[in-house]
Structure 1
Amino acid sequence: MVKLTPLLEDVAKLSVAEQQLPYVGTIDEVLINADENTHPHIVLNDEQVIGIFLIDMLYPQSYEFAESGSLGFRAFLIDQRQQGQGYGGKVMSQLRDYLVQHYPSHHSIYLTVNCKNATAYQCYVKNGFHDTKECYLGGAAGPQHIMLMKLHT
């Protein structure tokens, strides 16, 4: 069973596929961004750590397209040895309820996804995000779709 939880365990054993490094970075690069305003969360499958993501509480202060009171979803990765098994979709299908529970005062969440990453884009759309029809041009690996999901319907 796939479960999301705040970071409680060592995630150093997670690995990123070489072709994904421009989009996500290494585990060390992900964790260096974690602090009191950017919270790491892990993805467990049967108590085994298989992924990580960051929730950025100050996202609107860094990205002018983000509304005040929203969160940012960043640095999502599933271990390269676990990819292709549907875990990304399972995480995304749980995300809204998880965020409402852990961040009840926030009304929405933004993410950016590289315009070349059609698989991730479709996963986000299928699980509640919508494309704002704007692009973020400051991404290290090229233009990114700006996507939004309302947390409270």
Structure 2
Amino acid sequence: MQTRLVDYHDLSASQRQQLGYLEVTHEQIQFSGDIYTALNTLLVRPSPNICGFVLLGDEKPVGFFLLKRDDCLPHWAQEDLTATLHALQIDHREQGKGLGKACLQALPAALRLKWPDITQLMLSVDADNSAAIGLYTGQGWGGYR
């Protein structure tokens, strides 16, 4: 499967419609939310400080996440030149294929293009979300607080 990470606003109308079918498992919703909640965050009150990225697999949406900065940062990340990662979701039918890893590997370049002033990327992971902790630590993310 050929993958690429794109800004939500660069999707075709067909890809935006397909993104609505992205589903995570019931157990994962408690950690990442669902696609409707994430898109609501992105689209209902648009902000230049929230960006949605979509992982395309063979040009079909298979993953999604949000980045936030400045006045949209959560309380635990109130630092200059910081962005935070939120709502990382890989469609449950595509999990186990390295797509979460593909998102994280493509993330630094996408972040530099979108917000070149950002020097730090942070995230928060629920201590019970062992799959996410394994993914992030496997990609070099380390503890901060």
> TM-score, normalised to structure 1's length?
0.79
Where is the helix percentage greater, Structure 1 or Structure 2?
A: 2
How many Å apart are 1:125 and its aligned residue?
1.8
Q: Which moved more, 1:119-128 or 1:74-83?
A: 119-128
User: Paired residues, what number?
Assistant: 133
d(CA) in 1 for partners of 2:50 and 2:131? 25
Q: 1:58 aligns with which of 60, 70, 79?
A: 70
How many Å apart are 1:21 and its aligned residue?
1.0
Equivalent position of 2:83 in the other structure:
71
Equivalent position of 1:85 in the other structure:
97
Q: 2:34 aligns with which of 14, 21, 26?
A: 26
d(CA) in 2 for partners of 1:50 and 1:61? 26
Contact kept, 8 Å, 2:66 with 2:85, in 1: the verdict is yes
Equivalent position of 1:124 in the other structure:
136
Runs (4+) off by over 2 Å: 58-62
Amino acid at match of 1:26: D
Aligned CA distance change for structure 1 residues 127 and 20 (closer, same or farther; 3 Å): same
Q: Which runs of 5+ in 1 are unaligned?
A: 135-153
Q: Which runs of 5+ in 2 are unaligned?
A: none
d(CA) in 2 for partners of 1:79 and 1:87? 9
Contact kept, 8 Å, 2:23 with 2:92, in 1: the verdict is yes
How many Å apart are 1:61 and its aligned residue?
4.5
Where is the strand percentage greater, Structure 1 or Structure 2?
A: 1
Alignment of 1:10-25 (within 5 A): 10=16, 11-25=19-33
How many Å apart are 1:101 and its aligned residue?
2.2
d(CA) in 1 for partners of 2:130 and 2:32? 15
| Greater relative contact order structure (CA < 8 Å, 6+ sep) | 2
Q: Which moved more, 1:69-78 or 1:122-131?
A: 122-131
Q: Provide the secondary structure at the position in 2 that maps to 1:33.
A: helix
